[in-house]
Amino acid sequence: MTNTTVRSANLAALLALLAGPAMALTLDLPVGARLVEEQAEPRASYALPIAPWTGETVPALLVEGAVTRQAWRIETPGLTNLQVLAPIREQLLTDGYDLLLDCAATICGGFDFRFGTEVLPEPAMHVDLADFHFISAVREGEAGADHVSLLASHNLSASFLQVVQVGQGDEEITRGAVIVSSGPQGPLSEELEARGHVVLSDLTFRTGSSELGEGPFATLAALGQYLVANPGRQVALVGHTDSVGALESNIALSRRRAASVADRLVREFGVPREQISAEGMGYLSPVASNLTPEGREANRRVEAVLISTE
């Protein structure tokens, strides 16, 4: 993972979403952010993605309320999707939102996810099918629930961020038939049990180091809740690296990173040690090309692999 982070103290542009009485969320964007398109409707519906592509569809929660859709162009060169989204994700959690979905391109479903969800048209919003990141979240309130989705991607010259927010004001929310929990049976656990593995996509490490960042990490919290709630489940945490350096040293580094994640699960979330193991694959199992910086970043990851369901 890159060691460059985007911190709120260095953010200059304010994103004020005020489409309804309950929509008082203000998000910080990186320096250079420019609003290029905005659509506001006082009463509308939005299909909020809540899980990756299933092979047939993108599971979505139909929500209604005051809907604001915005596309932002960020001229700061060299930003990754995670650098754009990490401070916003942290702010959402601080403001009481629960994450429903947090995935990168391949895990989301790639092409099928992109064209199975709502995206503002080019040139306002650009999506690289091999390199995007999506987050959806909900915050319950007395007047109803507020929902937000974030979609980040980039091209060679700029980053792009789509923000869709649905607020309730004084009106009651209308939900679809899908019921989603952000607890132990939320999207991460569903993906883990359905596919047998899941990428912990929001983890950060110092370059060349096995030290896990401070967090908070939503995927780690969800995995910890899942394991505590299901004491019969066991997972192997598998570290992966890019192809820079020798295979032996990369395998050792990836194993240490997986062990660092295991230690955090035990220390912060009370997961019994016997439920988790730590392994390292080095660069032997890439999910993207190591010929590009974006591909190498995607390959630097830790996955949770379900090895026991008894």
pTM of the shown model = 0.51
Q: Kindly state whether residue 42 falls inside one of the protein's structural domains.
A: yes
Lay out the sheet containing 132-141: strands in order across.
33-49, 60-74, 159-167, 144-154, 132-141, 98-104
Is there a single domain that holds both residue 156 and residue 200?
no
Q: Kindly state whether residue 72 falls inside one of the protein's structural domains.
A: yes
What pLDDT, in 10s, does the model give residues 77-126?
778 998 889 888 988 998 899 999 999 999 999 999 998 899 998 888 99
Is there a single domain that holds both residue 144 and residue 254?
no
Is there a single domain that holds both residue 228 and residue 151?
no
Is there a single domain that holds both residue 63 and residue 146?
yes
Is there a single domain that holds both residue 111 and residue 23?
yes
Is there a single domain that holds both residue 35 and residue 155?
yes
Is there a single domain that holds both residue 255 and residue 201?
yes
Q: Kindly state whether residue 175 falls inside one of the protein's structural domains.
A: no
Q: The domain that contains 249 carries what CATH number?
A: 3.30.1330.60
Domain tally, the chain: 2
Is there a single domain that holds both residue 136 and residue 86?
yes
Is there a single domain that holds both residue 16 and residue 162?
yes
Is there a single domain that holds both residue 130 and residue 63?
yes
Give pLDDT, residue 25. 61
Q: The domain that contains 128 carries what CATH number?
A: 3.40.1000
pLDDT tens, position by position, for the chain (310 residues)?
333 333 333 333 333 332 333 344 667 677 678 888 888 888 888 999 999 999 888 999 999 889 999 999 988 777 899 888 988 898 899 889 999 999 999 999 999 999 889 999 888 899 999 999 999 999 988 778 899 999 999 988 889 999 999 986 433 322 222 222 233 345 678 878 888 888 887 888 766 678 888 777 888 888 998 899 889 999 999 999 999 999 999 999 999 999 999 999 999 889 999 999 999 999 998 888 889 887 888 888 899 999 975 6
Give the end of a domain, one of 112, 138, 167: 167
Is there a single domain that holds both residue 50 and residue 146?
yes
Is there a single domain that holds both residue 213 and residue 101?
no
CA 165 – CA 170 distance, rounded (Å)? 16
Q: Kindly state whether residue 233 falls inside one of the protein's structural domains.
A: yes
Which residue segment(s) compose the domain that 37 sits in?
8-167
